[in-house]
Amino acid sequence: MTVGIVGLGLIGGSFAKAYKKANCTVLSYDIDSKMLGFALLDGSVDSELSQDNIGKCDLILLCLYPDAAVDYISRLAPYISKHTYVIDCCGTKEKVCAACFDIAKEYSFTFIGGHPMAGTQYSGYKYSKATMFKGAYMVLVPPVFDDIVMLEKAKELLAPAQFGHFSVIGAKDHDKIIAFTSQLAHVVSNAYVKSPSARIHKGFSAGSYKDLTRVAWLNEEMWAQLCMENRDNMMFELDNIINNLQKYKEALKNENKDQLEQLFAEGKKIKNEIDG
C-alpha cells in the first residue's frame, strides 16, 4: 500500500509511523520543510508527497486544520487517482465534508470524513507514536450510508493504524456529539486553571486535579478554529453547563445542604447510567 499523509503533527506523525511499521510506502507533505526533513531522516516517511506522485496513493490522510484540509484537496484534486480514498482527520466534520464530498464527486475519487478518537494533551511530531491509534475508535462520515463496499474498503485501508472500533455517523450529528465529548472538555479544563488557586495548589492536588486539567495544555490555534466552526453546538453545551453550575452555586449561597446532595446524587446517577 502507498499512503499519502498531509500534515506531520501528532496525528499525521503517528499515522506515518504506524503505516511505515506495517511496511507501507509513506509519502508525506508538511508546510514545515524542517519537520518533513526530520521525518525523512528518522525513516517514518519515504518521500515527499507532491502533485507528481499523489496519484500513486491508495489512501490519503488529511491531518490538517479544517480550512487547510479543504484548501489542500481543492488544489490537488486534479492529480488524485480515481482509485484513491481520501480521509480527513479533522475535529469537525460539517464544513470539511460539505466541501470535499463535492470535490471528490467532481474528480471521481472517494472522500470519507474521519476523526480518530485518540491523542494526547501534547501536540507536534515529536510526541507521535506508531501505537497511537491501537484499539481506539475511528469515526467515519461517508457520503452515503448504504455502500458497504466503500466502508469495508476504508476499514481495510486503515488497518495498519490498528483501530479497535469504527463508528459511522453523519457530519451534523458528529459535530453535535463532539462538542460535548471533546470541545467542551477542553474549554472547561482551560477555564478551570484560570482560578487564582491554581498557582498555589502544589502539594494539595491528586488524581481529580490531574484528570480535570490534563487537556488545559492545548494547541490554542487549532482548538479556537474547531470551536468557532462548531459554534452553535458549543454555545448549546456552554449554556447547559453554566446553567447546571449555577444550581450548585445557588445551593451553596442559600446554605441548602439537601439541594446540594440532590445535585450530587443526580450527577452520580447519570454517570452510572452512562458508563455503568
What DSSP letter does each residue of 7-61 carry, written as one string? --SHHHHHHHHHHHHTT-EEEEE-S-HHHHHHHHHTTS-SEE--TTTGGG-SEEE
Say yes or no: 162 and 224 in one domain: no
Say yes or no: 121 and 239 in one domain: no
pTM of the predicted model as reported, rounded to 2 decimal places: 0.88
- Residue that is last in its domain, among 153, 169, 185: 169
What CA–CA distance (Å, rounded) separates 150 from 139? 14
Q: How many domains does the chain have?
A: 2
Calculate ∠ Cα 158-151-24, nearest 5°.
Answer: 20
- Residue that is last in its domain, among 169, 193, 226: 169
What CA–CA distance (Å, rounded) separates 131 from 160? 10
- Structure confidence at residue 149 (pLDDT): 96
Helix (H) or strand (E) holding 112: strand 110-117
pLDDT tens, 75-121? 999 999 999 999 999 999 999 999 999 999 999 999 999 999 988 77
- Structure confidence at residue 217 (pLDDT): 87
Say yes or no: 126 and 163 in one domain: yes
pLDDT tens, 226-262? 999 999 999 999 999 999 999 999 999 999 999 999 9
What CA–CA distance (Å, rounded) separates 204 from 59? 49
Eight-state DSSP code of residue 3: E
Say yes or no: 141 and 192 in one domain: no
Say yes or no: 120 and 148 in one domain: yes
Characterise 222 by phi-psi region: left (phi > 0), alpha (psi -120 to 50), beta (else). alpha
Q: Given a cut of 80, is residue 144 above it in pLDDT?
A: yes
- Residue that is last in its domain, among 145, 169, 193: 169
Burial class (CB in 10 A: 0-12, 13-18, 19+), 55: middle
What CA–CA distance (Å, rounded) separates 116 from 113? 10
Residue 27: all three cell numbers together? 509519502
Backbone angles phi, psi at 80, to 5 degrees: -85, 135
pLDDT tens, 61-75? 999 999 999 999 999
What CA–CA distance (Å, rounded) separates 126 from 141? 29
Eight-state DSSP code of residue 121: S
Q: What is the mean pLDDT of the chain?
A: 95
| CATH code (residue 53) | 3.40.50.720
Domain range for 211 is: 174-275
Say yes or no: 183 and 223 in one domain: yes
Say yes or no: 117 and 189 in one domain: no
- Structure confidence at residue 143 (pLDDT): 96
Four-point Cα dihedral 268, 269, 270, 275, nearest 10:
80
What CA–CA distance (Å, rounded) separates 78 from 265? 58
**Sequence-distant (≥ 6) Cβ neighbours of residue 229 within 8 angstroms:** 66, 92, 94, 95
Say yes or no: 210 and 140 in one domain: no
Say yes or no: 128 and 187 in one domain: no
Return the bridge partners of 87, or none. Answer: 61, 112
Say yes or no: 195 and 120 in one domain: no
CB atoms < 10 A from the CB of 229, how many?
21
Say yes or no: 42 and 93 in one domain: yes
Helix (H) or strand (E) holding 114: strand 110-117
Say yes or no: 45 and 127 in one domain: yes
Residue type, position 115, single letter:
H
Q: Are 2 and 27 in contact (CB under 8 A)?
A: yes
Q: Strands of 124-261 (E only): list them.
A: 137-141, 165-168
